[in-house]
Amino acid sequence: MANIKQGFRLGLLALSVAQAASALAVTPMTGNEVEARVGAMLDNMSLSEKINFSRVDDGRMIPKLDKFGLQGTVAYDSSMGVLVNGRTFGAQYPSPSALAATWSINRAKEFGLAIGYETRIAGGQQMLSPAVNLYRTPFNGRSAEYMSGEDPFLGAVLAPAVTNGIQVQGIQAAAKHYLMNEQEANRHYLDVKIDERAMQELYLPAFESLVKNSNIASVMCGYNKINGEYACENHHLITDILKGQWGFQGNVMSDFNSVQDAFKGAWAGTDIDMPSGLQFTEGKLLPYIWNGMLHPAVIDDKVRRNLRALVSYGFDKGINKAQPLNHPEYGQIAALNVARESIVLLRNEAIGGSGPVLPLRRDARVAVIGDMAVQAPTSPFGTAYSSAASFVTELSGMQQLAANPSRIEYLSQMSLNPRSSVWYQPSVAKKAISNTGVKAEYFANTTLTGDPAATRVEPGINLDWITNSNVTDHGSTTVSGYNPAAGNFSARFTGKIKPTITGPHVFKVRADGAYKLWINDELVAQDEGGQVSFDLIPVVPRTVKTASLKAGAEYTVRLEYRRLKGNYTPVLGGMNGVQMSWASLRPPSNLGDYDAVVVAAGSNFEYEGESLDHPFELPQFQSELITQVQKANPKTIVVLHGGGGMDMQPWANKVAASLHAWFPGQQGGQALAEILYGKVNPSGKLPITLDKKAQDNPSFASYSDPVPYYFSSPNPPTEMTYSEGLFLGYRGYDKANAKPLYPFGFGLSYTTYAYSDLKLSTNVLTPGATINATFTVTNTGDKAGFEVAQLYVQPSKPQVERPEKELKGFTKVYLKPGESKTVTIALDSRSFAYYSPDTVSWNVDPGKFKVLVGKDSENLALNRTVVALYPEQLTTRDSNPLPVSLRKAVQVKPQQAY
């Protein structure tokens, strides 16, 4: 665990890191030299060699080609860190959803540069990032991985900034998941139904921007179907739009084994069948070439693109080799800076006649509740899973910033942690034992029958079958005498507990097999251990709330568990083992004596991640816990963790303060502490709309419950219509004239900002012209800070159905107390256009538009009118999601590479 004071020194290194240019990075090449070398190799390849150069089955992403000495490429997953053999190499960064909350091009570049550097030092050539799907539903298990939030313009700005940082380090980026992977629901077979206009206006612009503003090396097609065709077999998406309309010159790789039909995938334009090469084989493709259904030029195009990827990055001359990470500070600084600017202050109320509860006084006596406050910063399970080797917990961050660490007290009795739960075992082998612990009986069968193969005292139930260990705060043991990992088995754990607080308690079991839980011989929970998702098979915990338990009373607890070897794969946040813990849902009687209470809540890798969508409700009865804590101490501060929105009722408008911290990365504890104590002024803004209820979300009509879509459900639905069409997120709320809990773009500060003097360089939109919107932002408070000024365009009387307003510009400006700055946001014809499927173009109709400027989507203090006198049709090839000034702003210079 890193010392937070050492972490503070990271900021002093930022300048030197920015200047640490290195000749190690190889920036991509383009032009005639590349094409000549590619063409020469292509001309000297047989048809057999060409087909086999479109598939990989040896762990690479681009195949080897020994004939020309090409070693292919190695790619790493990298949403929150470079994942090498299941472990994080380098820093653990905040989630991409947190990056979206920074609304910062500078932070996006900094993140790209740092993680690109670490990928190169790890010996990789490619990253399977960025992920730019939209936040459509609060159920989505992979919301944390997506840096677009709910708005295509936000993603169109941030994604190329990240990618340019990555690729200037000589690392290829791969955009994913193309397309419509806004949910994990039955993800391998789900058919997403959407109209062409909504697809073009909402779900494609971030990918388009990556092609046009970062020359991204690769695009990864996804698992699901779109309008009846699998993503990797969708000719319209890959060949017509990506390679045709946008002129993409890179290669299209499949998601893992996502090509279902060899001919369809090849003809559609997928260039690499990975990682097992199941479809693009000679046996499957040659017959289509021989009968004329598949022209050899289709194969040639794949080979050309794959060779171009190697040659343009210099990988034909040698590939990156793993080396020691001599500059871990690059990643540490980027992780800290993103965390600082991503945390969103949602609420900060005055309680009891005093000022707002935040920032805290350094001498305040603060109670901290929630296991996430003491654990290493979390991440989602799946390919985004990242564990931090060095980190600052939220508890330690607060303790080290407080005037004295003793002013911060952690209430472990309200924490669901199998390491800290206290057991009193009754007896072992008919002999009373005075030590704390649990009686454990292991059986060499799955029926708990016969004599136990082993009986012993365990310090708790936190058993890991991979390491054969049981690590707790009360002692640790090594599984011996009987090795559960050797085969199928069952176990019975029996012990007593003594609550220290009277009231209902929550019991939690996480296990890679079936189990039953009894309390005082009453069966309170059971699970058959069935598979809940198709591929990653996460071990999702089950929690149960008991009736009131009395402080000091003894309760007998019995957990019976049976396991089939190999039932679960313990990777990417999974587990092989069994855990149990419990905690009070009521606070201690003296909670009101504290100056404030901080509750760390939300979800972690146990509940959220790839392959499985999740409910809207907070897990582990956390809403009830927060409600009771708030009643006991009105100065309650809730810190939420997760990839997106979650149910904040009924406490949202009762707690003194709330913050959304996303998954904040290894320096998240430092960043949060700095904000809680006012060392850093919060500047994060919501990249999503926070719903009061899941039913309010515009997508709810077509996706109202994730449970039927679980793999374990009988006949999970195979079709989902994006029924909201153009009216995703805040657009849907505008259409319904409804108010969310917190609007898109919202975020509080410890200071106040005023907007004034909006001027347009011209109020007439003419073809090819740029309109500059200039206005003044003033810090009217007494603390320095960042403000994200947002610009929306509103058509007055549209000739076709359009959202009431859409984000078309933003800028992040730093202001000292009392300081004013004049800022400019550029607009062009694309800023006022809509997509026309009939003409396959972006059209501007004559008419009036309002340009709206303010601090969030609901508070737009300034407006001016623009008039379009003439109709325009912008081609899909030549138009760009970003005005020229932003296209330049997202670029990264080669000399900035580490």
Give 200-236 pLDDT, tens digit per residue.
999 999 999 999 999 999 999 999 999 999 999 999 9
Question: What's the CA gap between 453 and 483, in Å, rounded?
Answer: 10
Which pTM was predicted?
A: 0.96
Q: Is residue 498 part of a domain?
A: yes
Name the DSSP class of 55: B
On whether both 755 and 689 belong to a single domain, the answer is no
- Taking 70 as the threshold, does the pLDDT of residue 25 lie above it? no
On whether both 143 and 246 belong to a single domain, the answer is yes
On whether both 641 and 776 belong to a single domain, the answer is no
- Taking 50 as the threshold, does the pLDDT of residue 711 lie above it? yes
- Taking 80 as the threshold, does the pLDDT of residue 581 lie above it? yes
Mean pLDDT of 137-152: 98
Boundary (domain end) residue, out of 545, 569, 584: 584
Predicted confidence (pLDDT) per residue in 382-438, tens digit: 999 999 999 999 999 999 999 999 999 999 999 999 999 888 865 444 444 445 789
Q: CA 386 → CA 79, 176, 240, 380, 666, distances in Å?
A: 8, 18, 36, 8, 10
On whether both 278 and 372 belong to a single domain, the answer is no
On whether both 661 and 542 belong to a single domain, the answer is no
Residue 537 pLDDT class (50, 70, 90 cuts): confident
- Per-residue pLDDT at 15: 36
- Per-residue pLDDT at 26: 60
Q: Is residue 719 part of a domain?
A: yes
User: Which residue type is seen at 486?
Assistant: A
Residue 565 pLDDT class (50, 70, 90 cuts): confident
Q: Is residue 28 part of a domain?
A: no
**Residue of higher predicted confidence among 9 and 394:** 394
Question: What's the CA gap between 704 and 720, in Å, rounded?
Answer: 11
Mean pLDDT of 271-288: 98
On whether both 282 and 340 belong to a single domain, the answer is no
Q: Which tokens sit at 424? A: 């009193």
* CATH at residue 276: 3.20.20.300
Q: Is residue 15 part of a domain?
A: no
Under a CB-based contact definition with an 8 Å cutoff, are residues 141 and 535 in contact?
no
- Taking 50 as the threshold, does the pLDDT of residue 92 lie above it? yes
Mean pLDDT of 292-318: 96
Half-sphere exposure for 733 (CA within 13 Å, toward CB): 24
Name the DSSP class of 405: G
Residue 477 pLDDT class (50, 70, 90 cuts): confident
Task: Choose the weakest-confidence range: 27-36, 546-555, 590-599.
Answer: 27-36
* CATH at residue 623: 3.40.50.1700
- Per-residue pLDDT at 207: 98
What are the φ/ψ torsions at residue 308 (nearest 5 degrees)? -60, -40
Mean pLDDT of 160-184: 98
Q: Above pLDDT 90, what percent of the chain?
A: 86
- 819 torsion bin: left (phi>0), alpha (psi -120 to 50), beta (else): beta
Boundary (domain end) residue, out of 734, 769, 804: 734
- Taking 80 as the threshold, does the pLDDT of residue 561 lie above it? yes
Q: CA 614 → CA 150, 514, 646, 705, 730, distances in Å?
A: 18, 21, 10, 9, 22
Q: DSSP string spanning 587-622?
A: --TTGGGSSEEEEEEE--TTT-BTTB---SSPSTTH
On whether both 173 and 287 belong to a single domain, the answer is yes
Residues whose CB falls within 8 Å of the CB of residue 672, separated by 6 or more in sequence, listed in order: 339, 343, 394, 397, 398, 639, 659, 661, 664
Q: Is residue 325 part of a domain?
A: no
* CATH at residue 799: 2.60.40.10
- Taking 50 as the threshold, does the pLDDT of residue 9 lie above it? no
| Residue (of 61, 59, 88) closest to 605 by Cα position | 88
Residue 282 is part of which domain span?
Answer: 34-317
Q: Is residue 252 part of a domain?
A: yes
Residue 66 pLDDT class (50, 70, 90 cuts): very high
Judge residue 427's burial from the number of C-beta atoms within 10 Å of its C-beta, 0-12 exposed, 13-18 middle, 19 or more buried: exposed
The total number of structural domains in the chain stands at: 4
* CATH at residue 489: 2.60.120.260
On whether both 305 and 341 belong to a single domain, the answer is no
Q: Above pLDDT 70, what percent of the chain?
A: 95
Q: Which tokens sit at 370? A: 């929630």
Name the DSSP class of 46: -
Residue 30 pLDDT class (50, 70, 90 cuts): confident
Q: Is residue 20 part of a domain?
A: no
E strand or H helix at 638 = strand 636-641
| Residue (of 798, 821, 818, 794) closest to 807 by Cα position | 794
- Per-residue pLDDT at 483: 65
Pairing of strands 469-472, 462-464: antiparallel
Counts of helices then strands in the chain (DSSP H, E): 19, 42
Per the prediction, the chain carries an average pLDDT of: 93
Residue 533 pLDDT class (50, 70, 90 cuts): confident
Question: What's the CA gap between 745 and 344, in Å, rounded?
Answer: 10
User: Which residue type is seen at 778?
Assistant: T
3-state secondary structure 825-851: EEECHHHHCEEECCCCEEEECCEEEEE
Judge residue 858's burial from the number of C-beta atoms within 10 Å of its C-beta, 0-12 exposed, 13-18 middle, 19 or more buried: middle
Q: CA geometry: angle at 738 spanning 736 and 742, to 5°?
A: 135
Residue 27 pLDDT class (50, 70, 90 cuts): low
On whether both 578 and 591 belong to a single domain, the answer is no
Question: Is residue 332 helix, strand or coil?
Answer: helix
| Residue (of 98, 92, 131, 133) closest to 114 by Cα position | 92
| Residue (of 183, 223, 226) closest to 204 by Cα position | 226
Residue 21 pLDDT class (50, 70, 90 cuts): very low
- Give the CA diameter of the chain: 93
- Per-residue pLDDT at 12: 38
Q: Which tokens sit at 344? A: 């969103």
On whether both 770 and 707 belong to a single domain, the answer is no
**Residue of higher predicted confidence among 589 and 572:** 589
User: Which residue type is seen at 383?
Assistant: T
- Per-residue pLDDT at 571: 75
- Per-residue pLDDT at 478: 85
Q: Is residue 512 part of a domain?
A: yes
Angle at which helices 668-676 and 394-401 pack, to 10 degrees? 40
- Taking 60 as the threshold, does the pLDDT of residue 23 lie above it? no
On whether both 446 and 575 belong to a single domain, the answer is yes
Boundary (domain end) residue, out of 291, 317, 343: 317
On whether both 202 and 278 belong to a single domain, the answer is yes
| Residue (of 540, 571, 573) closest to 379 by Cα position | 573
Q: CA geometry: angle at 624 spanning 622 and 630, to 5°?
A: 100
Q: CA geometry: angle at 511 spanning 505 and 515, to 5°?
A: 75
Q: Is the peptide bond before 179 cis (omega within 30 degrees of 0)?
A: yes
